[in-house]
Structures are given as structure tokens and as C-alpha cells.
Amino acid sequence: MSVGMQGKIVLLYSLLILFAMQVSGVYLVNSLEDFYLRNYSSQQLSQAELMGSFMRRYLAEGEEQKEYISSLITEFGGGTPDTETIVLDRYGRLLGGAEQSYLSLPRERVIQDDILLALAGNTVEAIRVEPETGMRNYFLALPVKDGSAVEGVIFVRGSLEDIYLKLHEIKMMLITGWSIVLGIAIVVSFMLTRTITRPIREVTSRAAAMADGDFSQLIEVRSEDEIGELGGMFNFLTSQLQDTLSAISGEKNKVEAILNYMTDGIIAFNNEKKVIHLNPAAETVLSWVGVSPGEGMSGEMILGNFFDREELEKLLSSREPTTREVHLKEPYEKTLQIHFAPFEEKERQKGMLVVLHDFTRERAYARMQEEFAANVSHELRTPLTTIKNYVETLLNGAQDNVEVRERFLHVVDNETERMVKLIKDLLILSQIDYQEARWLKENIDISVVVEEVIEQVEMESKAKEIDLAVKIPHERITVYLDKDKIRQVLLNLLSNALKFTPYGGKIEIKTFQKDGYVHISVCDNGVGIPIDEKERVFDRFYRVDKTRSRDSGGTGLGLSIAKQIVEAHGGSIFLESKPGEGTEVTFSLPLFISRDDESLATSSYIEVPP
């Protein structure tokens, strides 16, 4: 089980106090022991010296003074139970003191050694422990001198047990005191450390709550010390972190919204070449090649259908931005630009960002621009070449022939008119494309526009014996439109119908209301349009029968202009056709119904004669 901070502090604090008490106690006990032993030794040495000064003149007389010497030993306290005093003459013979059996103890040789040293004039002091009893004794061998001559030896043996007993009592007192002090120190340290660890525990619990997403945690600051500063800083950190995370969350939502609504596919790989993020556009692009992507998938599983393994490994490991173009075959027929952009952190590559850009439309637009430029050049070059040739012929002498001159000038006039019409159509398209066209919209009865256009084409239809059938409602159908522009749309549709309807054919123009729109349709029984070319008839310069269209003066811009004008009015245009049976083109415009016309019905039709 791990020890908490409080336990560690208490343990360390207790060990420091215990160490301090131990050191001081050992020093105190050793000092007391040294004091008692020095005091005891000094006392014994003083008594022995005093005794020796009294015995000096008696030692010279030898055994004749034994009784007197014994009385001096008794008088100086040598007969006490814990002290034993022996007096020997210059020859080492016992003159008084302890019983003679004392010299026969196992330590006799030791004592004899001490006596021999003392007889040699040396003072010997020693503390020895008896091996059998473990008792400690003090030994003193003091030579008694008369000048330089040694007259005898006073040998003292004293028990030190009383001293060590006192020292033992002092040690027990110290140990008891240490235990009490240590217990108090532990209690105090627990109380002290609790004031430190409790705020730390509170910070820890609040931090754990923050880790779970609750950033409303605040700490009550109870003091102004370092712990209080920690609590205040934690509260400040909480506030700053909440603000920062809120800002990060906002930025994250922005980035996610941008990525999710980007038309380009975004795939992010980590440095292990595993997917960590991809947006819906990337999922759509990958579905074209049958891949169901997900986070954690490898780069080979995601992009393996676009590149071989070796090239893909090289692209995902590259530290430089790289772009590749990939063409998808059936059933999608797509062109993709795949951009590889590495992202790094501290000069270490952390992953790769892959952008999947559907380049199909741009490529188609580029191709259409090229075709448009080529078509314009061709359309202008052909009449200019014709005009140049005819003018050169006239200048070379053909103008003198009246018949030839008139025929040539007529051709030049037709070709010039053809170029003027082409340029006008191009200007109209350009103005609509760049939103520079001037729209003069007003509330117009659509029937008026239809009737005006019918009058314009009436002569041409009669020349080809074509039956024009017109169906328009009795009631006014008011539409907010540019009259000239819509008339041009209807005129283009009728002109196409007249060009491709054979002699004796029929063209029907019908106007009706439905779902808030007015619909105008032009239906003929001409040659029709092949099914595979229906989708392109509204492209600029596109002709179904190119030779016939050019011979009839067509520029290939009529339906394109019609579509642009109708869509600019908020409407739509579509075409239905069957080869050999005819074509029907219908365009619709949003209605503008005035209050005066709200009660008019829309179900009846009248026939307008051609």
C-alpha cells in the first residue's frame, strides 16, 4: 500500500526528531558516564594518595606496622562492600586490606601485572568487566614513593555498578521522555501536515473533476500562505482553462464545420499511416471506388485503388507537398487531383493531409472554353474568308459585270449579317454571364408576347406551308419579365422549329399555367434530335446537324441564349424529342399575378389563326 504525502511527512518528521533525541541522548549519557567515572576515579586517586602520604613512613618498617596499616585502610573507607583496598610493600607482600584469598582469584596475574607496574613507579588505572558476572570494576595501583624510591603499593578495586545503575535509570528516564516527546511530535506533525495535505487533496479532487469535463470547480482559499496561493492559482487556472477550452471548442466546431461542408475530400493520416480524420466529401469520393472508409484504417486500404503500394508508400512518407492526377473509369468517369501535404511538429513529421479534389467540372469547363474559342474563331473565319474572296474577285475586274457584282454583293451582305448576328449573340451571352445585361422587367401579359412573335414568323411559315397552331388562354397571364428578352427566347425556339420542320409540316405553340408558373411550349413534327445528343443541345455552338445549321445561318447559340435568359428570370427550360417524329421545347416563368387578376380562370383556350 502506498504511503500518502501526510504519512511521509509525519514519518520523516518523526525520524528527524528521533534522530535528534538519540544523538542528544547518547551525548548526554556518555557525558554523564564520563563525568561519574572521572569523579569516581579522582575520588579514589585522592584517597589513595592521602592514604599513601600517611602510610609512607610505616611502609618502611614492613610487617611490624600491619595493624596500623589495616586501621588506616578501614579509616579511609577501604572496607566498604563495593570498594576493596590492598596495601603491599616494596616487595609485593600484602601488608593489609582484603583477605589473602583475593590474590588467588583468576585475575591474580593481572593484578600482579598491575602491582609490578606500580612497583616500577607507574600509576595504573583501569576499568575491567568480569567475564563470569559481567560486573564492571575500577582498578587503581598507586605506588607510594619516598623521593624516587617506591616504598609500597596501594591497590584499590571498586565496583562501578552503582554508577551504571544510576546511568541506567537516567537512560530509562530519557527513553520515557523521548517516547512522550515523540508521541506529541507525531500528533503535532499529523495536525500540521493535515493543514497542508487537506488543500492538496481538495486540489486533487477538483482536478479529477476537471479531467472528467467539469470546469466549474473552485477551491475555497482559507489562508494567505503558499497553500492559499496554490488555491488561488488553481482557481485562476480553472477560469483560464475554461476560457481556453471554450475558445478551442469554438475553433474546433468551426474547423469541423469547414471540413464537413467542404466540397473537397479531406483525409488525415498519422505518422503510422492510419486514418485519424476524414470528412463526408472524402467518404463520397472513396465510395466511387468501392471503399467504405473509417478511422484507424491504413493508407493502403483507403488509397490503394488510386496508387500501387510502392508509390503510395512514397507519397505518404514524403516531406514535400505533392500532387497527383487520377482518372476514374466507368461508371463515374471522374478526374481527381490528389494533394499530399505533410504536417510537422518540431521538425518531425506527425502525419499527412490528403486532399481529394474532383477536377472533372474544371476540366470540362477548360475543354468547353477551348471548344468555345475554336468555334468562335471558326464561325468568324468562314464568313470573313468568303467576304475576302468575293471582294478580291470584284477588285480583279468582276465588278464590271453587273449580274456578277450584284450576286457577289448579295453574298457579302449575307455573310456580314451572319457575323453581326453572331457577335450580337456573343454579346448577349457575355452580358448575362458577367451580370451586365440590362433587364427592363415589367408586368406583361404573356399572350401579347406570343402574338407578336407569331406575327414575325408568319411569313416564313407560309413560305414553307407550315401550319402554326397557337393555344393561349382567354384570361390574361401576367408575368414580371423583360419583354424583349422573352420575345427573343420564343423567336429562337420558333426559328429552330421552322428550320427543321419540312414543307407542309406543323408547329404548335401552347401557353398554360401550372404550380405558380406559366409554361410556353413549341412543338414541331420535324426531324427530331438523337437521344444521345439531347443533353448537349443547350451548349454553346453545339449543332445536331452542323452542315445544315450553318447553311441555314445558325450560330449554335440560340438555345444557349434562351436558357440563360429563362434562368435569369427564375424559370427553367427543357426539351423532349424523338428522331423522325419531332421536338418539343418548353420553358416556364414564375407568375406575377396582380390583385385585379386574381379571380381569372386558367382552364380555357382560344385558337389564334396563323
The predicted-structure confidence for 472-531, as pLDDT tens digits, reads as follows: 888 888 888 888 888 888 888 888 888 888 888 898 999 988 888 999 999 998 888 887
CB 509 within 8 A of CB 450: yes
Position 599 in a domain:
yes
Q: Are residues 523 and 408 in the same domain?
A: no
**Looking at 297, 325, 358, which one is the last position of a domain?**
358
Q: Which residues of 385-408 are buried (b: 16+ CB within 10 A; e: fewer)?
A: ebbeebeeebeeeeeeeeeeeeeb
219 located within any domain: no
Q: Which residues does residue 175 pair with via DSSP β-bridges, in sequence order?
A: none
- CB-facing half-sphere around the CA of 461: CA atoms within 13 A: 22
Query: Is residue 245 one of the residues assigned to a domain?
Result: no
Mark out the alpha helices in 262-399 (DSSP H runs).
Answer: 280-287, 299-303, 309-317, 360-395
Side chain identity at 465, as an amino acid letter? E
Judgement on whether residues 273 and 155 belong to the same structural domain of the protein:
no
Asked if residue 555 and residue 491 are part of one domain, the reply reads yes
Report the SS3 class of residue 356. strand
Question: In this structure, is residue 244 part of a structural domain?
Answer: no
**Tens digit of each residue's pLDDT (9 = 90 or more) over 298-355:** 777 778 778 888 888 888 888 888 888 888 876 777 888 888 888 777 667 778 888 8
* Beta strand residue intervals within 483-548, DSSP E: 506-514, 517-524
The burial of 321, by beta-carbon neighbours within 10 Å (0-12 exposed, 13-18 middle, 19 or more buried), is given as exposed
Of 99, 25, 93, 85, the C-alpha closest to 65 is 93
* Domain assignment present for 184: no
pLDDT at 62: 56
State the cell numbers at 465. Answer: 406551308
Q: 475 with 602: CB under 8 angstroms?
A: yes
pLDDT value at residue 523: 92
Same domain for 69 and 108? yes
Beta strand ranges found along 408-464 (DSSP E):
441-445
Q: Which residues, given as ranges, of the chain have pLDDT below 70?
A: 1-6, 60-67, 76-81, 98-112, 213, 215-217, 222-224, 226, 330, 346-347, 368, 371-372, 375-376, 378-379, 425, 428-437, 540-556, 592-610
- pLDDT at 23 (0 to 100): 86
CA distance 575 to 587: 9
Does residue 101 sit in the same domain as residue 115?
yes
204-209 — which CB contacts under 8 Å span 24+ positions?
Answer: 206/234, 206/238, 207/234
| In a shared domain, residues 279 and 400 | no
Strands 136-146 and 124-129: antiparallel
Q: Give one word for 571, left, alpha or beta, with left for phi > 0 and alpha for psi -120 to 50.
A: beta
Enclosing H/E stretch for 319: none
Chain centroid offset of residue 16 CA: 48
Dist CA 459 CA 239 (whole Å): 85
Domain match, 34 and 159 both: yes
Residue 256 lies in a domain: no
Q: What is the pTM of this model?
A: 0.43
What per-residue confidence (pLDDT) applies to 371?
66
* Domain end position, chosen among 409, 433, 457: 433
Return all residues near 197 (Cβ < 8 A) that are at least 6 apart: 4, 5, 6, 9
Report yes or no: 338 and 310 within 8 Å, Cβ to Cβ: no
What lies within 8 Å, CB to CB, of 182 at 6+ separation is 14, 17, 18, 21
347: helix, strand or coil: coil
Q: Are residues 379 and 321 in the same domain?
A: no
Cα 593 to Cα 50, 350, 483, 599: the distances in Å are: 150, 63, 16, 10
Q: What pLDDT sits at residue 587?
A: 92
Residue with the three cell numbers 564492571:
136
Residue 584 belongs to some domain of the structure: yes
**What is the C-alpha separation between 486 and 492, in angstroms, rounded?**
10
Alpha-carbon span 132 to 118, nearest angstrom: 27
- Say if residue 276 is in the same domain as residue 403: no
CATH number reported for the structural domain that contains residue 350 in this entry: 3.30.450.20
Q: Kindly state whether residues 28 and 123 are assigned to the same domain.
A: yes
Terminal-to-terminal C-alpha distance of the chain: 107
Give the residue numbers spanning the domain of 552: 441-608
Q: Decide which of 433, 455, 489 is a domain's last residue.
A: 433
Which domain CATH number covers 469? 3.30.565.10
Residue 475 pLDDT: 83
User: Domain total for the chain?
Assistant: 4
**Domain co-membership, 526 together with 560:** yes
Residue 298 lies in a domain: yes
